[in-house]
Amino acid sequence: MKNRESITLFIDFEFSMPEGRGHKGFFPEIIEVGLLAVRGGKQEKFSSYVKPRVFKRLTRRCKNFLNISQQQVDGGISFHALVERLALYDEVGHCKVVTWGNMDMKVLKHNCQIAKIPFPFTGEFVDLSMEYKRFFGDRNQTGLWKAVQEYGKDGTGKHHKALDDAMTTYHIYQLVEKDKKYLNQSESTTIGDRVDFSVLRQFLAQ
């Protein structure tokens, strides 16, 4: 049996928002997707707006916060088309999905349930914000762009732009994995590393 190809997906979604608190029946829908697929050393990027199915008109708060227009989402792909595209990655290979926080997958699952279509992923999920928190011993979760700045780097493009956030997640993932490898390779020091035995030998030779 042929081995399945290994694929790592770095995904960021932007969601619709209610105008204020207590909006009856409202739930967030995916309105933009940014994705970076890494497999065999090659990268594939995908970015698109997504048309909301239920709450089709964006609120003023949502448009202002995300700097997005109604015309942009109206010209986007359907939610079904988005799920079909995501499912293709899962079908081609062993798929690991990396996101910053758990909201992306929660909203995707809920949107799939509302639309009555299967969730597209069957593989491994990595919440990189939790990995970052555990690795550095932070008490609270750190925001995506704050995390990359703590590494002394700049985020890619603009914050809350789906593809830019997905690319920034990828860069932090690389930095964390590099630090993990460094720590795993470093061995604990022995007494020989801490004591200069040449001085002791000279003393004994006197």
Q: Which residue has the higher pLDDT, 17 or 204?
A: 17
Which are the catalytic amino acids? 14, 160
Q: Mutual orientation of helices 162-185 and 128-136 as an angle, nearest 10°?
A: 40
pTM more than 0.95: no
- Asked if the model's pLDDT at residue 95 lies above 60, the reply is yes
- Give residues with Cβ within 8 angstroms of 164, minimum separation 6: 34, 155, 156, 157, 158
User: What are the tens digits of pLDDT across the range 16-59?
Assistant: 999 987 678 899 999 999 999 999 889 999 999 999 999 999 99
Q: Dig out the tokens for 86 from the structure.
A: 């995501």
Give me the chain's average pLDDT, please.
86
User: What are the tens digits of pLDDT across the range 108-163?
Assistant: 999 999 999 999 999 999 999 998 888 877 667 778 878 878 877 776 678 889 99
Residue ranges of domains in the chain, CATH in brackets? 5-177 (3.30.420.10)
Rounded CA separation 44/28 (Å): 27
